[in-house]
Copies of this chain bind each other. A is one copy, B any other.
Amino acid sequence: VPALIEIDSDGHRGGLVPDDPALLGIAAVLAGAGCLRGVMTHAGESYGAVGAEAQAAFAERERAAVVQAAERLRKAGLACPVVSVGSTPTAHAATDLTGVTEVRAGVHVFFDLVMAGIGVCRIDDIALSVLTTVIGHQPARGWIVTDAGWMALSRDRGTAVQAVDQGYGLVCADDGTLLPDLVLRSANQEHGIIARRDGAAAPLPDLPVGARLRILPNHACATAAQHDGYHVLPAKGGTLAYWPRFRGW
């Protein structure tokens, strides 16, 4: 089994710090078994870094950690062909990738509201949405009820800890135009509840039963995992393509 040694670049989760005394011993065992391919890290803490400057600092921290670990291996006479980093905020902010051979950014293929919330993309860049239909209203509460709840959107509330809480998602017309001041306020298993954002000036728009809307997700990875595939809109219109998803363990 080809193996990379995980390096802890920011204290987020797993791996060895680059100067961990155990690194060379582990590498020697893997090399002896013919498995060692290199080192990898994931800058999980960069998802809390707001703005390109803070993200660039994380990118450099990520790079420095794996390059330092790779150099320790090479000085010990071990080959380290793969030096891998990976996180969407750092992939977009990195200014120097010297010594890195692989960047494993993931959510950048779609972007989402969490990424928009830390300035990695604009809301208009988000390429994944859930198509839903208005199925009812509770006028006294200012609610528009849809048929996409958390089973379609996921329970991810990643923007809850950001400067702007986007609820369970933002609301677009079915052509993708953002409807201002609306938010998917809450989600039940198979129902979404759209309401005006707190402090919104505009009244609730007239979205009758049957109106189709698109919900932009907090976290594209979590939302996509609730579905078996993607219905892909060609840029110039025409027939939808269908891309099945890989699932399971």
Contacts and interface: CB of A to CB of B under 8 A. Distances in A.
Given A145-B13, A189-B221, A191-B13, A249 B155 contact: no
B193 A13 contact: yes
A101 interface: no
A110 interface: no
A190 to B, nearest CB: 9
A14 B136 contact: yes
A44 B228 CA distance: 28
Contacts of A50: none
B155 A188 contact: no
Given A150-B222, A155-B154, A249-B152, A14 B191 contact: yes
Interface string A60-101: 000000000000000000000000000000000000000000
Can you tell how many copies of this chain the complex includes? 2
Contacts of A150: 156, 222
A239 interface: no
Contact of A156 (B44, B145, B155, B248): B155
A157 interface: yes
Interface of A: 13-14, 44, 135-136, 138, 145, 150-152, 154-157, 188-189, 191, 193, 221-222, 225-228, 247-249
21 contacts: A13-B138, A13-B145, A13-B191, A13-B193, A14-B135, A14-B138, A14-B145, A14-B191, A44-B188, A150-B156, A151-B222, A151-B225, A152-B249, A154-B154, A154-B155, A155-B155, A155-B156, A155-B157, A189-B222, A225-B226, A228-B247
